[in-house]
Amino acid sequence: MELAIGIILGCCALGAGLCMGIGALGPGIGEGNAVSKACEAIGRQPESKGAVTSTMIMGCAISETTGIYSLVIAILLIFVAPGLLVDLLVEAVKSL
């Protein structure tokens, strides 16, 4: 029983780590690429700074939502899922 609980806790922690590792990688690369291209555009046409900057900020905000979603999933995997899964395991063992 203790081994099964340990496996549940370990898998939840591993899932949360993978979720944040993969979920934070996309927005980081995407936002870095967006800022890079915005700097290039402003360097080529300085008079369009306002339009480029506002569009870049909106795009970065939208791309950050995937990072926030992965953070929410990781928090659920760390704090909510282990309790639910351990309760299910205890009920299954009692029914045997």
Task: Read off the pTM.
Answer: 0.77
Average pLDDT over residues 75-96: 91
At residue 96 the predicted structure's pLDDT band, cuts being 50, 70 and 90, is confident
- pLDDT tens column, 32-83: 999 999 999 999 999 999 999 999 999 899 888 988 999 999 999 999 999 9
Q: What is the 3-state secondary structure (H, E, C) of the chain?
A: CHHHHHHHHHHHHHHHHHHHHHHHHHHHHHHHHHHHHHHHHHHHCHHHHHHHHHHHHHHHHHHHHHHHHHHHHHHHHHHCHHHHHHHHHHHHHHHC
At residue 24 the predicted structure's pLDDT band, cuts being 50, 70 and 90, is confident
Q: Which of 2, 52, 63 lies closest to 28 in space, CA to CA?
A: 63
Using the predicted structure, report yes or no on whether residue 2 has a pLDDT greater than 90.
no
Q: Quick check: 46 and 86 in contact, CB under 8 A?
A: no
Using the predicted structure, report yes or no on whether residue 26 has a pLDDT greater than 90.
no
Using the predicted structure, report yes or no on whether residue 1 has a pLDDT greater than 90.
no
Who contacts 62 (Cβ-Cβ below 8 Å, separation ≥6)? none
